[in-house]
Chains A and B, each alone.
Chain A
Amino acid sequence: MKRGFPILAMVTGLLLSLALYEALIAAPTEKTMGDVQRIFYYHVPSAWTAFLLFLINFVASVVYLIRRDSKSDIVALVSAEVGVVFCTVVLITGPIWARPVWGIWWTWDLRLTLTLVLWLIYVSYLILRRFSTSSQTPLLAAVLAIFGALDVPLVYFSIWFFRTQHPSPVIGGGGSLDPRMAHVLLLNWVAFLSLAWLVCSTRYRLEVAQREVDEAEAVESLLEGSR
């Protein structure tokens, strides 16, 4: 992985640059919303990336619960952290888009609201990891992640139904997508996935190194005082 890093970084850089060009310049301008709509290419892929990372967190948490191994725990931690970052991007780009287009800062549309709730759940997950005094923090965190995952479909359906009763503007546009725009959207998503992979793998290695240090210190204190 160490040797792969520069290559991955370059690839990510290239993809992001290409995606940036496509999104901001090459893609056709949207009829009704104008250039503001281009933020769509950041808003939607960020959401998809965040959801994917949270899915990874759920799987890693279940694996940890069964196997109690350090690797799964680190994967869970890393995917939660990076997922929260992408979630934050969604929550910021949403209002930035909504304001000029509809004159409002927030709309309780399905994707945005679901993202907000997921953001809350995973921030509480990170807070639990930070505030836990237990020596089995990974276990408690895995339990919370599972509760979070069980909650997601319930959140989805409750908001979906609420929306059918109280319709409102949908950020991210309903309806069909121009194929040229779809192509740019996908490109941006691939670029974001590459970025997510880069950040996650770096964070993963960082955490592994940190734990090795902690382990070494623990062993040292274990040997202290031995004759």
Chain B
Amino acid sequence: MSVPPSNSAVVADGLIKQFGRFAALRGVSGEFEAGKLYVILGDNGAGKTTLLRIIAGLSQPTRGKISVMGTSMDTSKVKDAQAQIGYMAHPSLLYDDLTGMENLQYFAELYGIASNRCREAIASVHLDPDLERPVGQYSQGMRQRMSLARALLNDPCLLLLDEPFSNVDTHSASEMAGLLAQLRDQRKTLFVVTHQPAILESNADEFVWMVAGRIVNRTASLRAEAP
């Protein structure tokens, strides 16, 4: 099931997220079409990671609503939506003492996916599925790619990637960017949080600028900066 039913992948309405006195999100609203690659930009503390986590269903907003692929994320149907989501964060979300295949085989069980899908996922990020080395001994770049493979495992409609290019060498980064563009061409929706937007400049459909917990601008090009 790769194609989402409606045309909106994500609809956010007045999202507010407070951690005690600190407000990470101060009212985020917007509609995000399916099948597009969105790059989210902003300084540290702008709320980018928080927004991604709320879309992924890992965090509940203090106020406001969000619906992902037609499913409101505060109901019991959240798990159905999550079956179609792939999430990648700055920590690797992998077990250091297992090999790449072992990691993905475990996660495949959680999604109810056939085990041969693991090979495909690892191969798609240009890693060796038969590598016996545990993930903890990978280089940073390899770990990022394996983390991406895990996010791709369930062939999700919606991909949420938080800093996928950090600590990755230029060559691997542009390979990854190419892969992301391919995924978008397969009608998947991607949200990429990054401090290196230039890597995706030619592939991104829209740049979403965030400042202090709000979306301040949405532009088609990187040149137009936040006011």
Interface residues of A, Cβ cutoff 8 Å to B: 135, 214, 217-218, 221-226
Contact = CB atoms under 8 A, between A and B. Distances in A.
Contact of B16 (A135, A217, A222, A224): A222
Nearest to B26: A222
B212 interface: yes
Contacts of B27: 222
* Band of interface residues on B: 10 to 19
A60 to B, nearest CB: 22
A217 B21 CA distance: 7
B91 interface: no
A150 B206 CA distance: 54
Interface string B83-110: 0000000000000000000000000000
B23 A226 contact: no
A126 B18 CA distance: 24
B212 A221 contact: no
A225 B24 CA distance: 12
The A interface is mostly helix, strand or loop, or mixed, namely helix
Contacts of B21: 214, 217-218, 221
A111 B26 CA distance: 53
Interface in B16-41: 16, 18-23, 26-27
A186 B26 CA distance: 55
B141 to A, nearest CB: 33
B18 A226 contact: no
A217 B19 CA distance: 12
A226 B26 contact: yes
A224 B27 CA distance: 12
A135 B26 contact: no
Contact of B23 (A135, A214, A218): A218
B212 A222 contact: no
Contacts of B19: 135
A214 B20 CA distance: 8
| Highest count of chain A CB atoms <10 Å: which of B16, B19, B20 | B20
A225 B42 CA distance: 15
Contacts of A135: 18-20
Given A218-B23, A221-B23, A222-B16, 9 more contacts: A135-B18, A135-B20, A214-B21, A217-B21, A218-B20, A221-B22, A222-B26, A225-B212, A226-B214
B37 to A, nearest CB: 29
